[in-house]
Chain A
Amino acid sequence: AQTVTQSQPEMSVQEAETVTLSCTYDTSESDYYLFWYKQPPSRQMILVIRQEAYKQQNATENRFSVNFQKAAKSFSLKISDSQLGDAAMYFCAYRTHSGGGADGLTFGKGTHLIIQP
């Protein structure tokens, strides 16, 4: 079974600074998806960024980018120019691509990101 580990229960960063959230995973598969989801106090789960394992290029979405190291099974999220609205729980998630990808997401325990004004 796949596992996802987020080793930082909480991170704090000054507004406008850059912060990196860590994630590692364990799998024997070669083809899969990785995601970062954001959960603000409203509790809505919002997709931040996705990465397909077969793509070598790191995904980028505006101020959000990832560092995907497939051999190391590492998938960190970098948030540049942090804003107050970025404060939330961030979850790293894994999804198998086998069988058409209908096996759901395996989530890490989450990192609580605090933005200091």
Chain B
Amino acid sequence: DAGVIQSPRHEVTEMGQEVTLRCKPISGHNSLFWYRQTMMRGLELLIYFNNNVPIDDSGMPEDRFSAKMPNASFSTLKIQPSEPRDSAVYFCASSLHKNTGELFFGEGSRLTVL
């Protein structure tokens, strides 16, 4: 069974540009999470969805960040406009609701904003 699939694996962009990160969760999982990992702050939960509905976006840094989940098999995290401090690895993870509690992670998208 395919795991969580993220794209792109690497993204280098210039300050002010729009960045879109994509995620396909594991089929049948109904909870999806976006995390950001930096050396300074570690792993931070940005937002999560349950049955495609955003439940808690209190971790989203500011209005430049937005996330959508138009259907059960696809989610995007968008940054517009991007800034150098957004440089990080962004992980998407999914979980089968009321299962073992385990989150399954994608391989992450490394974003570099110049």
Contacts and interface: CB of A to CB of B under 8 A. Distances in A.
Interface of A: 33, 35, 37, 42-45, 47, 50, 52, 91, 95, 97, 100-110
Interface in B70-113: 89, 91, 93, 95, 97-105, 107-108, 110
Interface of A is mostly: loop
Nearest to B45: A104
A35 B95 contact: no
Contact of B91 (A33, A45, A52): A45
A105 B98 contact: no
A104 B42 contact: no
Nearest to A42: B107
B43 A101 contact: no
Contact of A107 (B31, B42, B89, B110): B42
Contacts of B99: 101
28 contacts: A33-B100, A33-B101, A35-B101, A37-B105, A44-B108, A45-B91, A45-B105, A47-B102, A50-B100, A50-B102, A52-B101, A91-B43, A97-B101, A100-B97, A101-B97, A101-B98, A101-B99, A101-B101, A102-B31, A102-B50, A102-B95, A104-B35, A104-B45, A104-B56, A104-B103, A105-B103, A107-B42, A109-B42
A35 B105 CA distance: 13
Interface of B: 31, 33, 35, 42-43, 45, 48, 50, 55-56, 89, 91, 93, 95, 97-105, 107-108, 110
A44 B105 contact: yes
Query: Interface centre among A45, A91, A110, by most B CB within 10 Å?
Result: A45
A35 B50 CA distance: 21
A30 to B, nearest CB: 15
